[in-house]
Amino acid sequence: MDKQGVLYVSHGSRDKEALREAEQCIKMAQKQVQVPLQEICYLEISKPDIFEGMEKLVKRGATRVAIVPVLLLSAGHYYKDIPKAIEDIKCQYPFVTLTYGKPLGVQDRLIDVLVDRLKEAEIPHLSKARLLLVGRGSRNPETRRDIEKIASMLKERSQVKTVDVCYLAVLKPSFNDVLNHLDKLENETVIILPYLWFTGLLIKSMEKKIESLNTTNKLVLCQYLGLHPNMADALSDRVKEAILSTPVTRSKLDFS
């Protein structure tokens, strides 16, 4: 009989608070998954890495492992980095059946988190404000499509008159360029809403940029997605899907 394991693959960070938040959110999800063998690992920078995480599960007796990306959207890590690691793991542990989960993707309950973050900011005259949704950015074309879809859904759900999008890396318009432009607008509140899961260097760089411009208190930075219960719920559902999914083969890992 197979002994099921789950390997959560988070991004990794040099920021200790980011790691603490990621671990806390994953542990919230783990409580909703009825599997005794569960391990956390990281794609880069932090330890254990994906191979060390897998080794822990195998040593604990796992014969079937669901590999779950702790990622918001489908981009390079999902399509390239983790599949490459899975190929190596398959060679190292040919007797272990592997399944591969999906990132959270675009979901109504994640839009609910954004709406809650807006409410928490207690913006006066919200309907007259301009909202800037900030995505991480990637070379994968799905990223722009997903962020723009999230912005459209958010506009429908909120009272904000205008929702703009920008990115912290790779894609245009960039966060810095848009912020420099919006800061010149007179008598208009700009709400900045990060579509980022945890704190870290990107959040801190946003805070510094806003602080350098915010001479009139027009720029309001909302909380990132963070440890909202919906995030753990969405992650636990992805785990349950991954456990039941078809075992990966080379063809299933070829996203080209």
Contact 87, 118 (CB under 8 A): no
Q: Which regions of the chain does DSSP assign to beta strands (E)? A: 4-10, 37-42, 64-69, 97-100, 130-135, 162-167, 190-194, 219-221
Look at 174 and 1; give whichever has higher pLDDT: 174
**Per-residue confidence (pLDDT) for residue 157, from 0 to 100:** 92
Per-residue pLDDT tens digits for 134-166: 999 999 999 999 999 999 999 999 888 889 999
The class level of CATH for 108-221 reads: alpha beta
Query: In the CATH scheme, what architecture does the domain 4-104+228-253 have?
Result: 3-Layer(aba) Sandwich (3.40)
Per-residue pLDDT tens digits for 169-185: 999 999 999 988 877 77
The reply to whether 108-221 shares the fold of 4-104+228-253 is yes
Mean residue pLDDT of the chain comes to 94
What number of other Cβ atoms are within 10 A of residue 228's Cβ? 20
Any idea where the domains of the chain sit in the sequence? Answer: 4-104+228-253, 108-221
